[in-house]
Amino acid sequence: MNILKILVVDDKKVIGDLFEFTLGYSGHIITVVDNASAAIEAVKNKEFDIAFIDIVMPVKDGVELLSEIRGAASRLPIVMMSGYSVEDKKRQARNLGAVTCLKKPFDIDDVKKIIKAVTGKDV
């Protein structure tokens, strides 16, 4: 199996838990952080295969974070996530190179399909 290093940035613990319980138990390395500052630190200190970032977060939103990450890890594939109708933010994220935006709640199979499409690796 190909072990993937996945970054999850979401202020809702349940989202990080979903990734850890499904993909982490399969052997993948899941790093979960709940804010933009911690995400920037993680990206500066570790290498990831893919990142999943919530758009709506306190202090700094996911689009602002995406813009910052592009300076630190320009090739990191990023998937945005949102449970809100934030079409302007989704458009901004696509313009900054986000792969896609998952609508919450989502099915973990959708996450697996995106990971396969982006990395070429099964999860």
Start-end of H helices in the chain: 13-19, 36-45, 62-72, 87-95, 108-119
Minimal CA–CA distance to 23: which of 4, 40, 38?
A: 4
Per-residue pLDDT tens over the stretch 58-116: 889 999 999 999 888 889 999 999 988 788 999 999 999 999 999 999 999 999 999 99
- The structure's pTM equals 0.95
DSSP state, residue 36: H
Q: What residues are paired with 31 via a beta bridge?
A: 7
Per-residue pLDDT tens over the stretch 3-29: 999 999 999 999 999 999 999 999 999
- Return the C-alpha torsion angle 56, 112, 106, 15, nearest 10: -50
CATH of region 5-119 = 3.40.50.2300
Report domain extents, the chain: 5-119
